[in-house]
């Protein structure tokens, strides 16, 4: 990685109480401003830091999510083992635009965790298989409200999801097991890809392999 410009030290992003030289960073740029950051917050630990770059000011199109991650990547002197991921939906994006974003992301060695048509598909898979009547974001939000009393995407109760992560991974993999797909060709979610890497990192760096938050 080029060091032609002065970059911020990655250790500034890590907890002071940990050995910041022996830690892994996940930089995750998300389309959503609230739901996705809340969900990923349950995985953080002093040695596995999750840095979320949420959408601000409505710039939520995949190309803006990618631009946000690239700007952050240039700002800090990240290490080879640090992970960069894009998390976005494809309910409105044309396939040609999506292809360009995914191709550029691959060239930058960024991971892709794409959902069709919305991140709520991934949340739903924690509790049940897909149902034929679930087709659009409104369907999934209503189904989650019926499944979870008090469900609010702006105030997510992550304790309802943290013991069901393995179930969600298994269901998502069954829907789309092909690791070469850039995005789901049908309703589904590839968020399981980044979640699996996070869980593996927690096991490697903390000695734990659990579906509960590493901070508990």
Q: Which residue has the tokens 């898979």?
A: 125
Residue for token digits 């840095």? 51
pTM, rounded to two decimals: 0.87
Q: CA-based angle 81:84:86, to the nearest 5?
A: 155
User: CB–CB of 66/87 below 8 Å?
Assistant: no
Q: Tell me the per-residue pLDDT of 144-169, one tens digit each, with 9 for 90 and over.
A: 999 998 899 999 999 999 999 999 99
Of 64, 41, 39, 32, nearest to 156 (Cα)? 39
pLDDT tens figures, 21-34: 567 899 999 999 99
> Which of 154, 152, 162, 174 lies closest to 198 in space, CA to CA?
162
Cis amide prior to 74 (ω within 30 degrees)? no
């Amino acid at each position: 990685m080029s060091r032609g410009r002065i970059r911020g030290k990655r250790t500034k992003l890590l907890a002071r109480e940990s050995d910041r030289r022996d830690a892994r960073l996940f930089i995750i740029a998300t389309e959503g401003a609230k739901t996705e950051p809340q969900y990923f917050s349950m995985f953080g630990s002093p040695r596995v830091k999750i840095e979320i770059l949420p959408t601000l000011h409505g710039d939520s199109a995949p190309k803006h999510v990618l631009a946000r991650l690239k700007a952050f990547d240039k700002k800090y002197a990240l290490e080879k083992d640090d992970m960069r991921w894009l998390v976005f939906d494809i309910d409105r994006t044309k396939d040609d635009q999506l292809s360009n974003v995914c191709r550029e992301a691959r060239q930058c060695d960024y991971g892709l965790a794409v959902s069709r048509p919305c991140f709520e598909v991934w949340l739903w898979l924690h509790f049940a298989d897909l149902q034929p009547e679930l087709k659009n974001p409104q369907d999934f939000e209503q189904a989650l409200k019926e499944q979870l009393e008090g469900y609010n995407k702006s105030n997510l109760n992550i304790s309802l999801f943290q013991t069901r992560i393995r179930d969600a991974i298994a269901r998502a993999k069954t829907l789309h097991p092909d690791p070469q797909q850039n995005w789901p060709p049908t309703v589904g979610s590839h968020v399981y890809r980044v979640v699996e890497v996070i869980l593996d990192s927690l096991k490697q760096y903390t000695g734990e392999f659990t579906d509960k938050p590493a901070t508990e």
